[in-house]
Structure 1
Amino acid sequence: MPQVVLAAPKTIPQVIDGLTDWIMGILALVATLFLVIAGLRYTAAGGDPAQVEQAKGNFKSALIGYALAFLSPTILDVLQSIIGG
């Protein structure tokens, strides 16, 4: 009776592709969360300069998160080429 292989080990490029998808998703989720928080803070600031500055900081964090999510495939490709996969 032949033995059936249910799962084979993944290669480094396959693992990095999987990591890319996960990292992009997580970064986009966190960036969206910061964007929502920033919008709520800005709306609830009521003209308070300190609250407006916190909201602006959250907007900047959201933009950084979206940029990292967008650039993560490139970053991981560079890491893959360094590792040699």
Structure 2
Amino acid sequence: MVLIVELAILALLASASAAHADTMVVALADSVTTVLNNVRNWIMGILAGLATVFLSIGGVRYVMGGGDPGEVEKAKTAFKSAGWGYGLAALAPLVVEILKGIVGA
């Protein structure tokens, strides 16, 4: 059994040394500007998605709370969190423009 494992390891090492060095790296982004724009789009999408989740949770808590002051307060907190999320999503392009200025893109 040990001999089979050793032979398999030797075969893997022998095949790994015969690998070609002609690998070509293909970049998906043309420039730093493209990368930063993609980062901006991802940040905006994630923040807007999370804000929508918090808005939905707040709405459900408010409706299902039935006037309970504790639940209404939790709903208001969720609404505030959603507002922060939408605000940060709206500011994401500004942050990326600042990063572009720092990087020089």
Aligned length: 81
TM-score where L is the length of structure 2: 0.70
How far apart are 1:39 and its partner, in Å? Answer: 0.2
Where in structure 2 are there 5+ consecutive unaligned residues?
Answer: 1-23
Where in structure 1 are there 5+ consecutive unaligned residues?
Answer: none
Asked if 1:7 corresponds to 2:32, the answer is no
Q: Distance in 2 between matches of 1:67 and 1:35?
A: 13
How far apart are 1:8 and its partner, in Å? Answer: 3.2
How far apart are 1:9 and its partner, in Å? Answer: 5.8
How far apart are 1:76 and its partner, in Å? Answer: 1.2
Larger radius of gyration: 2
Q: Distance in 1 between matches of 2:27 and 2:70?
A: 55
Q: Cα deviation per residue 1:10-53 (whole Å; 9 max; x = unaligned)?
A: 32211100001111111110000000000000001111111101
Taking only aligned residues, the RMSD between alpha carbons, in angstroms, comes to 1.6
- State percent identity of aligned pairs: 47
Following superposition of structure 1 onto structure 2, how do residues 1-85 of structure 1 map, counting pairs within 5 Å? 7-8=26-27, 10=29, 11-85=31-105
Q: Distance in 1 between matches of 2:81 and 2:98?
A: 24
**Which structure is higher in RCO with an 8 Å CA cutoff and minimum separation 6?**
1
TM-score where L is the length of structure 1: 0.86
Partner of 1:47: helix, strand, or coil? coil
